[in-house]
Amino acid sequence: MSIALNHITLSYGSRTLLEDVTAAFAQGSLTALIGRNGTGKSTLLRAIAGLGTTVSGDVALCGRPLASLTPHELSTTVGFVTTDKVRIANLACEDVVALGRAPYTNWIGRMQEADRAVVERSLRLVGMSAFARKTMDRMSDGECQRVMIARALAQDTPVILLDEPTAFLDLPNRYELATLLRQLTRDEGKCILFSTHDLDVALSLCDSVALIDTPSLHHLPAGEMVGSGLIERLFSGENARFDPETRTVRLR
């Protein structure tokens, strides 16, 4: 398994977000992590990425306990894409993508021919080759998001985590981005786990859905999740209800 969570508990102080969660995510699979605001999606992604959150239980990446990985091994195993905007004037897309090569470049960080080829390929995979020399401060949110995914691809890790990659995107771009992620699981064999509030994207385009139902995590194939009744229970309220037909939340 690319990601294995074994009886993990996540908490902040006395507040428990997840308790005794066991789940596994396979190579070549796309999984959406969903849940209401503040239920711990980002915290879980950060814990899997080894970004210093309180965890009891074990996280294993590609069969190795997270705790046993050196910083270098971690950086060649898991890539993490956040919604933080990297809009540094004068920094071209290809330079941002090249940052993903840091674990592989020599001690002065000099890029070799092979590194440059990986950067080029990564930009091509996300459909952004034409933007290589453009600076990121003049690009749309959707374009920036693709470049940040290219950076994670250049890092060449079997596991990629993304925290709300579809936030700030319009509807066609949300579908396009999720379709791109799906393609990367198929063509590149990546294990991709991303958090999202887009139920229709999660349920229509992903292999499986991991739903935080505090303090549990339900991980089911997307089709089974639609029919499970779990989404209605967690996302329906006085003014809105989940419609399994359209896989969206609608006003009552």
Ligand X SMILES: Nc1ncnc2c1ncn2[C@@H]1O[C@H](COP(=O)(O)OP(=O)(O)OP(=O)(O)O)[C@@H](O)[C@H]1O
Report, in Å, the least distance between residue 119 CB and ligand X.
30
Under DSSP, the state recorded for 8 is E
12 binds ligand X (CB under 6 A): yes
165 binds ligand X (CB under 6 A): no
227 binds ligand X (CB under 6 A): no
Pick from 9, 44, 63: which is nearest to 161 by CA? 44
Beta partners for residue 3, in sequence order: 25, 61
Q: Note whether 175 and 123 are within 8 A (CB).
A: no
194 to each of 69, 121, 128, 163, how far by Cα in Å?
22, 22, 21, 6
Report, in Å, the least distance between residue 236 CB and ligand X.
17
209 binds ligand X (CB under 6 A): no
* The two three-digit tokens of residue 47, written as one number: 């814990």
Cα–Cα distance for residue pair 192/31, rounded to 1 Å: 6
| Residue closer to ligand X (CB basis): 150 or 177 | 177
Pick from 7, 17, 42, 22: which is nearest to 193 by CA? 42
Encoded one letter per residue, x for contact with ligand X by CB under 6 A and - for no contact, window 15-54 reads --x-----------------x-xxxxxxx-----------
Q: Note whether 23 and 219 are within 8 A (CB).
A: yes
Which residue type does 210 have? A
| Residue closer to ligand X (CB basis): 35 or 100 | 35
Report, in Å, the least distance between residue 58 CB and ligand X.
20
Q: Note whether 148 and 81 are within 8 A (CB).
A: yes
> Applying CB under 6 A, what is the total number of residues that bind ligand X?
10
Report, in Å, the least distance between residue 164 CB and ligand X.
7
| Residue closer to ligand X (CB basis): 104 or 168 | 168
Beta partners for residue 146, in sequence order: none
| Residue closer to ligand X (CB basis): 17 or 119 | 17
Q: Note whether 180 and 146 are within 8 A (CB).
A: yes
Report, in Å, the least distance between residue 213 CB and ligand X.
12
| Residue closer to ligand X (CB basis): 128 or 210 | 210
55 binds ligand X (CB under 6 A): no
Report, in Å, the least distance between residue 83 CB and ligand X.
10
135 binds ligand X (CB under 6 A): no
| Residue closer to ligand X (CB basis): 41 or 146 | 41
Report, in Å, the least distance between residue 37 CB and ligand X.
4
Cβ contacts of 240-247, under 8 Å, gap ≥ 24: 242/199, 246/200, 247/199, 247/200, 247/203, 247/204
Instruction: Return residues touching ligand X (CB under 6 A).
Output: 12, 17, 35, 37-43
